Amino acid sequence: MSAARAPEPMPDWIPPMMATLGGLPPDSGAWAWEMKWDGVRASAYLAGGRLLRLVSRTGRDVTATYPELGALGPATAGGPPLVLDGEIVAFGGGRPSFEALQPRMHVTAPAQAAALARRIPVTYLVFDLLHAGSQSTLTLPYARRRELLDELGLAGPSWQTPPAFTDVAGADVLAAATAQQLEGVVAKRLTAPYRPGRRGADWRKVKPDFRQEAVVGGISPGQGNRAGTIGSLLIGVQTPDGLTYAGRVGTGFTRPALRLLDARLGSLRRSGCPFSSGVPAALARGAVWTEPRLVVEVAFAGWTAAGRMRAPSYRGLRVDKDPAEVIRET
């Protein structure tokens, strides 16, 4: 950063730059790859050995919600004032879990926040540097901002600087994220400045597409423009305890697919629930149950701790699959 630039005061808040959902950009040497973390976005404002404030994506001060991150202030004492961008995550089963994080969110009472910090500790994963000393870094290219961030050596009991990969193929990074059951990757253009509050193609989030066969055990009737047909399919997988509810699929249907499913499921209606466990009471009250004979293929974003598919989407019928053999595969 040039010494000739006029000093710039630390801003009160920098709205975060956001990524667009899409496919992997080509491996042209123009991109860095970061893991996508299943947490909540936050920017940290530090000066004089203190965490001045921790601000959410919407501009809300969440400093009191995560008291363990206050130690980041003393850890940066002696260095310049900083504004960092990152993600607050909680780990469940060895990987980031939004479900694990939820009890921590929106808590402001100091005693309650401190108790939760002991029970469900969080980690602040820092991936960008927005201000350093008396200078904004927003106009610097991403590659330079990452260099400056890495030079800070931010690593502590409740904060880390995860790597950005530039010397491997994006598909390999996505495969690694998929294998670790992470949310996916974010591709960031090396030459791009930081654009506060904007969503653009310079940051691209790419999610893995998990696939799974599932057994249809019921229907939630459609409403609005889907009235009179299927609203969503209630699906499950086989376990030692029987067919266990795994979620509901309400997207991915074409009109021909809905007509086909209506025809197939119409003759399979039954009076009782075929699932051995797990169907939420609100869904069960309005459900139309079916014999568990139809197998569908579903794309989804991963499993919840309760064994439900996240964001499932219909991909087609599997007439070649025996419902008795459909088990959880990922």
Tell me the DSSP string of 22-40: --PPP-SS-EEEEEEPSSE
Burial 177-198 (b: 16+ CB within 10 A, else e): bbeebbbbbbbbbbebbbbeee
List CB contacts of 20: < 8 A, sequence separation 6 or more.
Answer: 199, 200, 201, 203, 204, 205
In the chain, the N- to C-terminal Cα span, in Å, equals 47
Q: What is the CATH number of domain 18-206?
A: 3.30.470.30
Q: Domain ranges for the chain, please list them.
A: 18-206, 210-325
d(CA 273, CA 258): 22
Q: pLDDT at residue 12 above 70?
A: yes
Q: Is pLDDT larger for residue 210 or for residue 118?
A: 118
pTM of the model: 0.73
- The active-site residue out of 36, 188, 207, 321 is 36
Degrees, nearest 5: CA angle 21-22-28 = 125
Name residue, tokens 């530039």. Answer: 166
Q: pLDDT at residue 171 above 80?
A: yes
Q: What's the mean pLDDT in 208-216?
A: 88
d(CA 188, CA 179): 21
The whole-number pLDDT of residue 88 equals 96
Question: Percentage of the chain with pLDDT > 70?
Answer: 98
Degrees, nearest 5: CA angle 227-280-269 = 50
- Say if residue 218 is exposed, middle or buried (CB neighbours under 10 Å; 0-12, 13-18, 19+): buried
In degrees and rounded to multiples of 5, residue 84 shows phi and psi of -110, 155
Q: pLDDT at residue 2 above 60?
A: no
Q: Is pLDDT larger for residue 14 or for residue 175?
A: 14
d(CA 188, CA 102): 28
The whole-number pLDDT of residue 295 equals 95
Q: pLDDT at residue 1 above 50?
A: no
The whole-number pLDDT of residue 4 equals 59
Residue 321 known to be catalytic: no
The whole-number pLDDT of residue 197 equals 95
Q: Do domains 18-206 and 210-325 have the same CATH topology?
A: no
Task: Compute CA 80 distance to the chain's CA centroid, rounded to the nearest angstrom.
Answer: 32
The whole-number pLDDT of residue 306 equals 87
Q: pLDDT at residue 109 above 80?
A: yes
Ordered alpha helix ranges (H), the chain: 72-75, 98-101, 110-119, 142-151, 170-179, 255-266, 281-286
Q: What's the mean pLDDT in 121-134?
A: 97
Ordered alpha helix ranges (H), 2-109: 72-75, 98-101
Of 73-87, 119-133, 191-205, 303-317, least confident by mean pLDDT is 303-317
Looking at CATH, the fold of the domain delimited by 210-325 is given as OB fold (Dihydrolipoamide Acetyltransferase, E2P) (2.40.50)
- pLDDT, one tens digit per residue, over 21-35 is 888 998 889 999 999
Q: pLDDT at residue 226 above 70?
A: yes
- pLDDT, one tens digit per residue, over 295-309 is 998 988 888 888 999
Q: pLDDT at residue 165 above 80?
A: yes
